[in-house]
Amino acid sequence: MSSSLTAYDPTLSKNALSNSPKLIPFNQIQDILSRILSTEEGVHAILSSQVEAFRLASAVPSKCASLPIQTAGQIPYPPLTAGAGAQVCVKTGYAVDDTVLVSKYAAGGGKYSGNTGSVSVYDQKTLRLRAVLCDEGLLTEIRTAAAAVVASRAALLAAGTNAKIVKVGLVGGGVQAIWHLRLLAASGVVDPSKITVVVKTQTQQSAAKFIQTMKNSTYPLDQRFTIEAHNDDNRFKGCQIIHTVTPSRSPVLHLEDIDLPNGGQNSFLHISAIGSDSPGKCELALDVLQAADLCVVDSLLQTKERGEFQPSRWESMKGDAPIFSLCEIGSSIDESTGTFVVNHNRDEFGGTSDVGLFSIFDSSGMAIQDVQMAKIIVEQLQKELQ
């Protein structure tokens, strides 16, 4: 009888051979996403996946688990050899009574390569690895943008039927910036032909490069936007929606940059802040946070160490730290209408009935979002195999 390293458990070899995970290549994932995003139903499914993620995260008792986030390369961990800005974010989570557990690896920011990543999908019942989605971080890009758009759509709906978006602000000119514009348009939140986008990046040259990238894009939606570079004279004045998508560790948006709602052309103002996804990062100045009527976050638990409202931001301040009435977005959106649930006179938010709502959505990203996004791909694969 031949010896075997795993003779103590013959099922190891048997299961490895008969239940090997499927390796889904990038091109196949890209093709699936292209088909999904080409229809209104598909775009709705992606946005709905994030609404469901928010709902699960805010449920009492909890209906999901998001394990502690690991962000290699960023404080408090030592830097990676890819460079000071490089990070590898690992998020793991699952929903109660669901079929899968997902562990997502998303990396980028290094000086040697662009974004990369993969998503491992495990079977909750058997605990076996079912599939590895070699998405190069694409699923993270889309779910992050979708989450921001869900919040911006909720703010638009809360502003009423007469509210119009004529100007959108964008801080950052990377891949996230592209996906935020795409999903704002695909979801119907904005009409690219009827708005102006103002983009601010680190330099005028990088802003010009982003504008040219959108003009030269072969993706139809990209070319429809009218995009202008931010300047110190106009800043983000007149914007109804602003999305910040930078890896900054100091504020990139101040109160002097924006117009607060006045009931006129600026009937409301909403900011979706996405970049503050690890300790020490921030994009919004404190005066912006303090001016908001409504502050919503994806996870109250995560605000203790990451996001715009992380306590470390107040540690250097003299006197008392500011107090914010934070609420989770999962309990702040009406499931049937998609709008923010806001008292009409908004006394509890410090607002008045004759001035539009100024809302902020701060997202540091949750594993349950990756779970819901991965399920879209896995379920589509199953349909195509039938």
CATH number assigned to the domain comprising residue 84: 3.30.1780.10
Say which DSSP state 99 is in: S
Q: Are residues 180 and 275 in the same domain?
A: yes
Residue whose pair of structure tokens reads 């006129």 in the numeric block: 264
Q: Are residues 162 and 119 in the same domain?
A: no
Q: Are residues 158 and 132 in the same domain?
A: no
**3 in a structural domain:** no
DSSP secondary structure letters along 33-54? HHHHHTSHHHHHHHHHHHHHHH
Domain span including residue 133: 13-140+368-385
**360 in a structural domain:** yes
**8 in a structural domain:** no
**1 in a structural domain:** no
Residue 4 has what pLDDT? 84
Q: Are residues 359 and 373 in the same domain?
A: no
pTM of the model: 0.92
Domain count, the chain: 2
Q: Are residues 56 and 203 in the same domain?
A: no
**181 in a structural domain:** yes
Those residues with Cβ within 8 angstroms of residue 83's Cβ, 6 or more apart along the chain or in another chain = 109, 110, 111, 112
pLDDT tens for the chain, 386 residues long, are 456 889 899 888 888 888 899 999 999 999 999 999 999 999 999 999 999 999 999 999 989 999 988 999 988 899 999 988 899 999 999 999 999 999 999 999 888 768 899 999 999 999 999 999 999 999 999 999 999 999 999 999 998 878 889 999 999 999 999 999 999 999 999 999 999 999 999 999 999 999 999 999 999 999 999 999 999 888 999 999 999 999 999 999 999 999 999 766 678 999 999 999 888 899 999 999 999 999 999 999 999 889 999 988 877 666 666 767 899 999 999 988 899 986 544 444 444 445 689 999 999 999 999 999 999 999 999 887 76
**83 in a structural domain:** yes
- CATH number of the domain that residue 250 is part of: 3.40.50.720
Q: Are residues 375 and 355 in the same domain?
A: no
**37 in a structural domain:** yes
